[in-house]
Each structure stands twice: as structure tokens, then as C-alpha cells.
Amino acid sequence: MGSKMGLIVCSLIIMVTLLKGATAKQYVAGDSFGWTIPPNTSFYSDWANSKTFQIGDDILFKWNGTWTHNVAKVSSRVEYESCAKPGLVFLSGISHVLTNNGSYFFVCTVDNHCDLGMKMIVTVGSPTNVSAINDLSSASSSSFGSLVATLLSTIIVSLFTYV
């Protein structure tokens, strides 16, 4: 009896894993254009707006050369608008998994590339939930504050989902 139950649980876990694997999509930032200085400042917003991102999807950032560009995540819309330069940057070939509902703010911190439009907002989930998350995220800038904001927004998202 016990082993049968275990078998059912095992099968369920495998099924869920397969289902998740089957639905998660990988997007290449900018598609064939890649991640580089765009022809206009709305290029990457237009690109992101043309997609429907879901939790589990990931975005691959690729460009030619090594230090010609980079990709960094900033934690708020304010930092995004002001082209903040966080210390942690990633090189070509990095893929960012979208693990939560909300907005992800990506920038290139090389020279003035961000000001030239090399930045992108990726949004997962419905706009209602997203605006709640943005308000929480911009309320605090410390990493602990962000963590609390993330936890709170997760709870809020859960409420939206289950109520």
C-alpha cells in the first residue's frame, strides 16, 4: 500500500516536471538582432511587448565579442529609467530564468549603451499583479528590503490567484 502511494507521488512529480519542461520557452533577446545597441530606444520594449512571457521561460542574451556589452538586472523601474549600473554583470550566453510574476529590468552597463536604448523590461503575469509588485519593489532599495518586497509580492500574487 505504502509503495503504491509512493509510486503515484513519483509519477505525479515526473508528470509535473515533464509538463513544466514542455511549456517553458527560451527567448533570445532581440531575436536575430541579439543584444546590442538598438536602432531606436523603443526597440527592446517593442520586442518584449510582442511576447507573452510565463514563469519558467528564460531569456538568452547574446552578442558578438566579450566585453563589448553586458547584461545586468536592476531592481526597480527608477533604477531602470536612470540607467543604474549594478556591480553584478553577465557576459554573452547568459540566460535569465523568469521565476516570478512581475517585471524584470535588464540593462547594459557599458558606456552609455543603456541611454541609447540597450535596456528592456520583461513582464510576467497580469498588469494588476505587476503594478502591485512594482510599487513594493520601488519602496525599498536595500537588498533585504527587496527580499521582503519579493516575499510580500509573492503572498499578494498568491492571494490574487486563490481568492
CB 105, CB 137: distance < 8 Å: no
Pick from 113, 120, 123, 129 the residue near Cu ion by CB under 5 A: 113
User: Nearer Cβ to Cu ion, position 110 or 148?
Assistant: 110
Helix (H), strand (E), coil (C) string for 10-48: HHHHHHHHHHHHHHCCEEECCHHHCCCCCCCCCHHHHHH
Residue 119 binds Cu ion (CB under 5 A): no
* Region from 25-33, 47-55, 80-88, 100-108 binding Cu ion, contact rule CB under 5 A: 100-108
Give alpha helix (H) positions in the chain: 2-23, 43-49, 77-81, 127-139, 143-162
User: Nearer Cβ to Cu ion, position 34 or 145?
Assistant: 34
User: Nearer Cβ to Cu ion, position 108 or 136?
Assistant: 108
User: Nearer Cβ to Cu ion, position 53 or 63?
Assistant: 63
Residue 118 binds Cu ion (CB under 5 A): yes
Pick from 55, 84, 110, 116 the residue near Cu ion by CB under 5 A: 110
Q: What is the DSSP letter of 149?
A: H
Residue 101 in grid coordinates:
510574476
Which residues form the interface with Cu ion (CB under 5 A)? 69, 108, 110, 113, 118
